[in-house]
Structure 1
Amino acid sequence: MRTRPAEPRDATILAQIHVNAWREGYKGIMPADYLAALSIQEREAQWRSALSENGLGSYQLAEFRNEVTGFCIYGPPRDETLSTRNCGELLALNISPDHWGKGFGTLLVQHVIEHATSSGWDTLYLWVLKKNTRARSLYEKLGFEFDGTEKTEQLAPGFELSEVRYCLPVGG
């Protein structure tokens, strides 16, 4: 089990993991028709572009026996209320559903925590869907705490998602 930076050649597998993790992980949280409409081909094009241009931040993936099992994205804060603080954001964490519960999420989050510490950040934060109890449980196990901040985003006309913010002091 190891991590490595994602590369443009990983776009296809990352798109597959991304779509499959959303379809399985957000079942019952997001509308079924929205999840069914997710396109691996569209996601692959987005991944190719992001990995070629170094889009949102740093892209790290987990591997086991040369098989990519998941990924995370992390970088500077997008949250305007935190943009003046010395912190970073875990923007995404997705693990292939057939590898859930095997430690790959923990491995990737620990990589981000190590990066945050070595970068001198004081805090690492993330947004997670309020109803995503599986992810919230993982983050809580790793020491993240809900800081009381919530927001709602419109996913599709007539459908809103509630997110909660979790923070982890990492030193600095």
Structure 2
Amino acid sequence: MIIRKANLSDAPGIAKVHVDSWRSTYKGIIPQSFLDGLSYEQRTILWKNNISDKNNTIYVAENEGEIIGFVTGGTRNTNKEAGASDLTSIYLLEEWQGKTIGKKLLNQIMIAFLEQGYQKIYVDVLAANKTRQFYQYYGAEYVKTVQLNIAGKTLYEEIYVWNNVEKVAQRSK
């Protein structure tokens, strides 16, 4: 298993992880009709655009030529704080969760954030998503809860922050 920077040819593999992990992670949280409507083809187009955007930092976890997970970072339009950026997503196929791959992806993106000069990183996670404990374990501190709507359902999203990127990079080695 290797962690490496994503390239355009990874878009279909990232799209598969994105769709499959949303369907397993958010089952019972996000309306099933929305999850059923996710498409590999549409997500492949999205990921080609994301990879082409130089403002995004994207790494993949690859095992024997198959993309099994990914992590993305980039400063959201809503983040106006100097020296801060955002961990925008981290997903693994369900069968690869709990095997330290998420930790390795987190470490890689934190190193990239340090190289880009960021000292503070925000991450948004659905309150009902049990994997939010992963961020807490690596030192993310709760900031606030916001309300959002997905497919007609009101959900709550918790916002966390890491105030010391170097410390997170060290802890996630």
Q: When the two structures are superposed, what TM-score results if normalisation uses the length of structure 2?
A: 0.88
Where do 1:26-105 residues align within 5 Å? 26-51=26-51, 53-54=52-53, 57-80=56-79, 83-105=80-102
Contact conserved, 1:78 with 1:89, CA < 8 A, in 2?
no
Summarize the Cα distance change of 1:142–1:171 in structure 2 as closer, same or farther, 3 Å threshold. closer
Match of 2:171 in 1: none
1:18-45, Cα deviation, whole Å (9 max, x unpaired): 0000000001111111111111111112
The amino acid of 2:78's aligned partner reads: D
Question: Using the alignment, how far apart are the partners of 2:98 and 2:126 within structure 1?
Answer: 19
Match of 2:17 in 1: 17
Matched, 1:130 2:124: no
Q: When the two structures are superposed, what TM-score results if normalisation uses the length of structure 1?
A: 0.88
Question: Using the alignment, how far apart are the partners of 2:102 and 2:86 within structure 1?
Answer: 16
Contact conserved, 2:50 with 2:56, CA < 8 A, in 1?
no
Runs of 4+ in 1 over 6 A off after TM superposition: none
Identical aligned pairs, as a percentage? 27
The amino acid of 1:142's aligned partner reads: Y
Question: Using the alignment, how far apart are the partners of 1:76 and 1:46 within structure 2?
Answer: 17
RMSD: 1.7
Question: Using the alignment, how far apart are the partners of 1:56 and 1:116 within structure 2?
Answer: 12
Match of 2:160 in 1: 166
